[in-house]
Structure 1
Amino acid sequence: MNNSNKVTCKKSFLYTGFFIFLIITTGFAVSTTFISCNKNGASNYLELEKNVKNPTTIEEYENAIAAHDDRIQEIIDIESKTGVWYKILGSKYLDKKMYGKALESFKMAIQYYPDNANLYYYVGVCAGYMAKASLDFDANGSNSIQKNYLALAESSYLQAIQFNPSYTRALYAIGVLYVFELNKPQLAISYLNRLLTVESKNLDGMMVLARAYYVTGDNDKAVAMYDSVIKETSDANRKTEAENNKRIVLDQAYNN
């Protein structure tokens, strides 16, 4: 590659970054072709060195890296920014309730930041919304697409919790998913209790946990949890809901 090609490639990185910035700030879609100058751009950087086109020994690799340290750092910086741009783009799609587009953007961001708990949480959120929108449009009696999205939501929330065991939003989300979507309330209880050890007055979590206790037959704990909500809440509607739910639990307990 001659010097003019080097300059062209470097400029294209700058133009690409500016182009993506305009896209993100204006809200238009982004093509995945912006990731690099060209598909072989990163892999061919070492070949730019005249004296070490194909390093094979440790010394040759060290020399090549030293010769192109600035370019290597430039690649790292661009890759890092690309992951952030995907996350920002996903957030903008999410704000506009474009859940399918948001899901794809967050999935791409995970390619750059595979241990980021927030990204997995947002994938779970988007997958949950997509599950609700996955009707049987072909009228063939199958709900496999919905099940797949729910499974993705579950695995994403669990992955987020694995990276951050005290991640309250993910703990609450997996609780809701197990209680109201997957009909696995017994699995929700441990996660919701963990949520309440982090945020002892998380009233949303307390309401879902009370529901989980109720549907698994633990009426005493359900009543106790509703009592806690009634005591702690300042919201009249929430208090009424908790009182009504408590009454239902007690009525069932007395009738059995």
Structure 2
Amino acid sequence: MRLPLSRLLAGLGAGFLACAAHAADVQIAVAANFTAPIKEIAAEFEKDTGHKVIASFGPTGGFYTQIKNGAPFEVFFAADDTTPEKLEKEGDTVAGSRWTYAVGKLVLWSATPGYVDDKGEVLKKNEFKHLSIGNPKTAPYGLAGIQAMEKLGLAEAIKPKLVEGSNITQAYQFVATGNAELGFVALSQVYKDGKITGGSAWIVPAELYEPIKQDAVILSKGKDNPAAKALADYLKGPKAIAVIKAYGYDL
């Protein structure tokens, strides 16, 4: 039996309204190094689910303070695993919702092609004026940079030349604008689809710094928000995983 057009349109309209009624906003806090990947993932998530992502980007340590002071975040994508674990122990998360969404890589990068060699010898030569780094107290990639220099025995020699950004985005910007000749940044900031996107870089060997396991968790404020759970599930799916890998992260 064929339905009259008016009834068919009415049915489609009801279905659309039902989907709209179930759509929700989700507020997320995202470590600065994951800015580009989450923007791509969020766009696909919104198209696929109808939910809307409202994202804030910054240093992991800073977000911890904001969350403890009542910030309205519902999902937290950190640049380490210790901060989400701490929030979990302090009762600020949905039990059992924490997972590792990416393992980050540190890179020594310059906006100038050929400036950084593929073995990092530019560090030992120490002929640069400024080296940019994220605040090691709040930015895990900044801490990783300090660890790498210590392992190489260069920390004291380079210390007077450090230019410290509040987060890894600012550390990247110091190099991109020429205020520092080179800097330690996240590989994801200068890498896409298997190659460095500009300038020159040395991917720092993993044995020179502690693994950058990046955990995410649904926060207590997201407990009853279906969009929070949907986003967490989406990050574990094939579309999101493909984007994460494209930016040079391990899983």
Q: Comparing both chains, which one has the higher relative contact order based on Cα–Cα distances under 8 Å and sequence gaps of 6 or more?
A: 2
| Greater helix share, structure number | 1
Q: TM-score range by the shorter chain?
A: under 0.3
